């Protein structure tokens, strides 16, 4: 077992059996606890990431049950989809591999679900919860705030347009204050190291691949979701839009823009920045896209007849 302590940059660190000093939360992997035993490594990966998995499951269920108006069974099935897509079970990059990519995806997905819920609820505590989730996932991976800020600004603009300044700003301020109080110290204290790691040293971030090559990130993203699940999700989008257009006027036809943008922001950034073709970094886009495809229409839990969407749970389960 390695010795666990604090490194020179202030990160948690451990001495692995190879004699190297490993820094940051990701370094507290099985090398600190189990040497080279693969089974123990996988078990540690599952245990460490389990709280984020449960957080994603809980926030996903609350969103689909409270906002989308789904039944308990449907909400549970949809929430399970957010934590059990094919990439989770891959030996390389999955739950047992203990990479930060899956942890980031779970945390970022929990943020999106909590944000979608907070925007529909008249409770300050919902916004505090969003802030706590953002702080947690930001400490797991320091690139997450980039995506969070873009999505939050987009959601705020939508709310300002639909609800006005007074009804919109307070919640977002509470969220921001919560994040700053819980995670601001980390980014202030480690700014130089984080800047060096992500902006100077990181070869993938500075790869500057041509667009035609960087677009392969989209293919890697599709592999995380898997062909069969992706097909079922596309059917869900089609069924949801058809049902909505049949039973409501087109004047109130509103896409679930926040979920869609939440899914598109990470993958769009990877492609346009020409990031290196790390096969796992696009995983963070998965939860937002799944939420959108399961609930493509922005809804306030107002029930509409489900002529086609009633078959979606069966397609997802299969």
Across the range 92-106, mean pLDDT stands at: 87
- How many Cα atoms sit within 13 Å of 299 on the Cβ side? 23
8 Å CB contact between 66 and 300:
no
Count the neighbouring beta carbons within 10 Å of the beta carbon of residue 99.
19
SS3 content of the chain, % helix, strand, coil (to 5): 70, 5, 25
Rounded mean pLDDT of the chain? 82
Residue percentage of the chain with pLDDT more than 70: 78
Give me the sheet containing 21-23, strands edge to edge: 4-6, 12-15, 21-23
Q: Which residues have C-beta within 8 Å of that of residue 35, sequence separation ≥ 6?
A: 1, 17
Condensed to tens digits (0 to 9), the pLDDT of residues 144-173 reads: 999 999 999 999 999 998 888 887 899 999
Opening angle at CA 181, ends 180 and 185, nearest 5: 75
Q: Which residues have C-beta within 8 Å of that of residue 158, sequence separation ≥ 6?
A: 257, 258
Count the neighbouring beta carbons within 10 Å of the beta carbon of residue 53.
19
Report d(CA 95, CA 56) in Å as an integer.
14
Count the neighbouring beta carbons within 10 Å of the beta carbon of residue 261.
21
Across the range 39-57, mean pLDDT stands at: 80
Condensed to tens digits (0 to 9), the pLDDT of residues 65-96 reads: 988 777 888 899 999 999 999 999 988 888 88
**The model's pTM:** 0.83
pLDDT of residue 47: 81
- Residue spans of the domains in the chain: they are 1-36, 37-317
Find the range with the poorest average confidence among 30-39, 106-115, 198-207: 30-39
Q: Using 50, 70 and 90 to split pLDDT, how confident is the model at 230?
A: very high
Q: b/e for 67-94, b at 16 or more Cβ within 10 A?
A: bbbbeeebbbbbbebbbebbbbebeebb
């Amino acid at each position: 077992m390695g010795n666990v302590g604090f490194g020179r940059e202030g990160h948690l660190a451990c001495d692995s059996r190879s004699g190297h000093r490993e820094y940051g939360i990701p370094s507290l992997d099985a090398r600190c606890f189990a040497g080279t035993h693969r089974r123990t490594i996988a078990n540690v990966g599952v245990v460490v990431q389990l709280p984020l998995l449960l957080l994603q499951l809980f926030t996903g269920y609350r969103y689909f049950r409270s906002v989308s108006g789904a039944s308990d069974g449907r909400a549970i099935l949809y929430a399970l989809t957010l934590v059990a897509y094919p990439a989770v079970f891959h030996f390389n990059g999955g739950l047992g591999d203990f990479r930060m990519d899956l942890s980031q995806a779970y945390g970022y997905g929990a943020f999106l679900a909590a944000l979608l819920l907070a925007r529909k609820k008249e409770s300050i505590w919902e916004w505090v919860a969003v802030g706590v989730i953002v702080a947690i996932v930001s400490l797991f991976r320091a690139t997450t705030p980039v995506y969070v800020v873009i999505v939050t600004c987009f959601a705020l603009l939508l709310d300002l347009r639909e609800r006005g300044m007074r009804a919109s700003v307070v919640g977002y301020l509470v969220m921001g204050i919560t994040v700053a109080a819980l995670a601001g110290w980390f980014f202030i204290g480690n700014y130089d190291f984080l800047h060096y790691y992500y902006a100077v040293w990181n070869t993938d971030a500075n790869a500057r691949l041509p667009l035609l090559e960087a677009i392969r990130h989209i293919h890697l993203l599709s592999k995380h979701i898997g062909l069969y699940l992706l097909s079922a999700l596309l059917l869900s989008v089609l069924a949801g839009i058809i049902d909505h257009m049949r039973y409501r006027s087109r004047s109130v036809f509103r896409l679930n823009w926040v979920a869609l943008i939440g899914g598109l922001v990470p993958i769009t950034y990877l492609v346009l920045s020409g990031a290196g073709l790390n096969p796992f970094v696009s995983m963070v886009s998965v939860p937002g896209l799944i939420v959108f495809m399961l609930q493509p229409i922005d809804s306030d839990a107002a029930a509409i007849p489900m002529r086609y969407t009633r078959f979606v749970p069966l397609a997802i389960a299969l």
